[in-house]
Structure 1
């Protein structure tokens, strides 16, 4: 089966691109081209925004009753569920996520989002009336914002596309999606499903492209809101453009999450949890628990056990179901992670496992050796900067108050965990950590609850009723009293 494509999905139809430019999708495992697809241009973005603008300003979608939009999204959900295996394989092919993780999260989690948002939309207060303090009632309406620019990253492409697209559609918005150039293939499957589900013409466009195309979309005067997931540096640029134009934006950005291990934590449970949460998706996850905080008394023994656990993980072909850690998405990402590993050694951190160089048994692909540093000072760059690879830092703390201080000593605030035998004590520690999400003896993104970050980890929230509300404007209608 060829993955090559020769058209763009603009306004709900397959359209010849404006230029002959091509994106080559390269396997991170084999370093060979696995597909060629059109590279979107500014002209293609203009056409997509124009279609979205017409569909919003003149078309039926924003004017449907909420239950009518829910019916279309429900049809999409059924189509998506039927293609989960295909979606998982495509994502692993294009960006190298281990197939075990793709089957666990890359494909099923987006479908779970659809189902969760459908339930939320059915109960959402689209229009309600409350008594006013001046005598007359007030009608409060949630109305669609307008045209949405949805920009996902390459690491969890469908997960981050649907966290924007589904609430936008349910709210009555129209959407232009710009996938990352490394991972455009999964969105072709999505486009086919949108078309089959009966999403009206103009409501959704998908145009893959690079940074310049993305900036053209963000700054386009026809766009009412930008929803972005990606690096904090890119988020700052997008926020600046949106601020200048007074354009709405939601930004889900980077993280450097802390896992606080209290002295009473069960060693086996904690190691199993951190083995997954620390290097999930080969470490290419914004919520990865990459700073492991352990008391000084337990530091050496715990760090050695963690290093043994990480060293025992299977690295290799992402299509092998036994693989736990796959390649980095691109050569530049491999080089970036290698530089941080060298930097950690230069900074004086203790290298327990991993280090620079290809993992044993591999002679091609953009792999790095899963790495654990111990005796890390939280002021080191490996503890402060997002590496986005399988690199963990074990940091000693003096007492629980010191652990909280270290956890909060970061420009980020996206996720975190607390590991303890005392759930109540764990929840008390969790309340003190300035982060948008945190788990006690676990970590997950529950789609019924808001997800997002404090500080440089972003602006706004996804998931839950709060995530749906991000795609609406509030209107107050003052109702006159009936005549006497």
Structure 2
């Protein structure tokens, strides 16, 4: 049984959680389940670590985080494999994202924290003296992460939190605990002080205990909008800072001048990345009415051509869904699309594989934006092609959603695409491609979340800003 990690020690219990392969439905491992009392101990350990002279020293913290990044870099291949076997991510994608991403993020925020002074002086606007601005760690951070990009999304939170001098209690998703435990092992090998990083394992009940814990100073969550609303309610009642990166139902606006071949090639990633289990995907494809059939056929051909199979096979482009429950959810929406009268142009069934929670990439055409397959986040390889009359209607359809996380615009005229992107109500939009930029803020509007991760803004989210007012001409004032 794999133990969890609290206060610098590995812990086990009699309760266990099985880790199941989505590719063959066999048990991979068992992980010890944490109890609420383990969360209490983890929060207490994190609070002690905050006061550790070893961790409070910025120079020493930078040295430790540099070693942590090196430890993660040394076992990149194994970490990529851990993600693939747990959640079905194609190994080529895991190798490109889950392996180097955490290392790059940790190094980025370590360098950023070293470059930004902890204190700065600003002259007062009234001319009477100056103000000393201090950047201080927000404190104990509860980080709750999902299963779709488990290591990368963990480091969205962990890297800036640690760089800012915070201590973290991490709760991974039950489906992907092994990689979180490997992160803890790498932190231990790097010599991070006990309690700086703790990993507790469990379900949403344990997560809620962590979120509401009186010793937590900030919550960072990535997951469903429903869970995010609950976490937001708790943090609002406690007046506790919270970052919420939630669901999406993003639109790909295909303009009438878009190159069809280039657009469809780009949509293979922008709309179907990670078996459709990515929050920012452009799963609503908006096309000019006169090009609807042409685009639908091309998208359907692209989806049908993708190689579905074993996620550890480098040839695989679409792996299984993460769980049997997730496959049931996706298949429910496929049935709803068929009953609503949409045109099924590709997929709509399981591929001919004996085992595993697979669903063939599915494309519907002639979809109304009012239909459930266009309104709700499905989180699987299901696309809805929606016709529009003109640009104004395309923008209106794109914005007619409770979500606002991602989106794309496809065109032969980049400036025209940029004009359309400016009108889309979303935290992020790509023109002729979509790829998150680590140096720029990422997050959503509306039901897609609160706050931003990545970029310098991602570091600021884990800092308190304290203003110390200094009286003018005070001989006791420090120089």
TM-score bracket for this pair, using the shorter chain length: over 0.9
Q: Could you tell me whether the CA contact under 8 Å between 1:124 and 1:465 is conserved in 2?
A: no
Structure 2 equivalent of residue 26 of structure 1: 20
Matched, 1:49 2:34: no
Matched, 1:12 2:30: no
Match of 2:285 among 292, 304, 324: 292
- CA–CA distance in structure 2, aligned partners of residues 153 and 370 of structure 1: 22
Q: Could you tell me whether the CA contact under 8 Å between 1:372 and 1:394 is conserved in 2?
A: yes
SS of residue in 2 equivalent to 1:259: strand
Structure 2 equivalent of residue 38 of structure 1: 32
Tell me by how many angstroms 1:112 deviates.
Answer: 2.0
Q: Could you tell me whether the CA contact under 8 Å between 2:55 and 2:193 is conserved in 1?
A: no
Structure 1 equivalent of residue 266 of structure 2: 273
Tell me by how many angstroms 1:61 deviates.
Answer: 5.3
- Of stretches 75-84 and 178-187 in structure 1, the one that deviates more from structure 2 is 75-84
Matched, 1:429 2:420: yes
Structure 2 equivalent of residue 303 of structure 1: 296
- CA–CA distance in structure 2, aligned partners of residues 394 and 69 of structure 1: 50
- CA–CA distance in structure 1, aligned partners of residues 470 and 161 of structure 2: 28
Tell me by how many angstroms 1:267 deviates.
Answer: 1.3
Q: How far does the alpha carbon of each residue in 1:205-230 deviate from its partner, in whole angstroms, 9 at most, with x for none?
A: 00111111101101111111110000
Structure 2 equivalent of residue 242 of structure 1: 235
- CA–CA distance in structure 2, aligned partners of residues 232 and 176 of structure 1: 22
Q: Could you tell me whether the CA contact under 8 Å between 2:340 and 2:371 is conserved in 1?
A: yes
Match of 1:199 among 192, 205, 227: 192
Structure 1 equivalent of residue 84 of structure 2: 92
- CA–CA distance in structure 2, aligned partners of residues 106 and 278 of structure 1: 19
SS of residue in 1 equivalent to 2:52: coil
Structure 2 equivalent of residue 315 of structure 1: 308
Structure 2 equivalent of residue 76 of structure 1: 68
Unaligned runs of at least 5 residues, structure 2: none
Under a length normalisation based on structure 1, what TM-score does the superposition of the two structures give?
Answer: 0.96
Q: Could you tell me whether the CA contact under 8 Å between 1:96 and 1:329 is conserved in 2?
A: yes
Pick closer, same or farther for the CA change 1:483–1:371 going to 2, 3 Å.
closer
Q: Could you tell me whether the CA contact under 8 Å between 2:146 and 2:172 is conserved in 1?
A: yes
Cα RMSD (Å) = 1.2
SS of residue in 2 equivalent to 1:274: helix
Tell me by how many angstroms 1:370 deviates.
Answer: 0.9
SS of residue in 2 equivalent to 1:154: coil
Tell me by how many angstroms 1:408 deviates.
Answer: 0.6
Tell me by how many angstroms 1:238 deviates.
Answer: 0.2
Matched, 1:389 2:380: yes
SS of residue in 2 equivalent to 1:149: strand
SS of residue in 2 equivalent to 1:9: strand
Q: Could you tell me whether the CA contact under 8 Å between 2:348 and 2:362 is conserved in 1?
A: yes
Match of 1:128 among 120, 123, 130: 120
- CA–CA distance in structure 2, aligned partners of residues 61 and 399 of structure 1: 61
Q: How far does the alpha carbon of each residue in 1:70-101 deviate from its partner, in whole angstroms, 9 at most, with x for none?
A: 22111111111111101001111111111111
After superposition, residues 460-479 of structure 1 pair within 5 angstroms as 460-479=451-470
Q: Could you tell me whether the CA contact under 8 Å between 1:92 and 1:98 is conserved in 2?
A: yes
Q: How far does the alpha carbon of each residue in 1:292-338 deviate from its partner, in whole angstroms, 9 at most, with x for none?
A: 11100111111111000100101111111111111111100000000
- CA–CA distance in structure 2, aligned partners of residues 217 and 431 of structure 1: 38
Q: Could you tell me whether the CA contact under 8 Å between 2:278 and 2:379 is conserved in 1?
A: yes
Q: Could you tell me whether the CA contact under 8 Å between 2:54 and 2:60 is conserved in 1?
A: no
- CA–CA distance in structure 1, aligned partners of residues 134 and 337 of structure 2: 53
Consecutive aligned runs of 4 or more in structure 1 exceeding 6 Å deviation = none
Matched, 1:111 2:123: no
Unaligned runs of at least 5 residues, structure 1: none
Q: Could you tell me whether the CA contact under 8 Å between 1:260 and 1:293 is conserved in 2?
A: yes
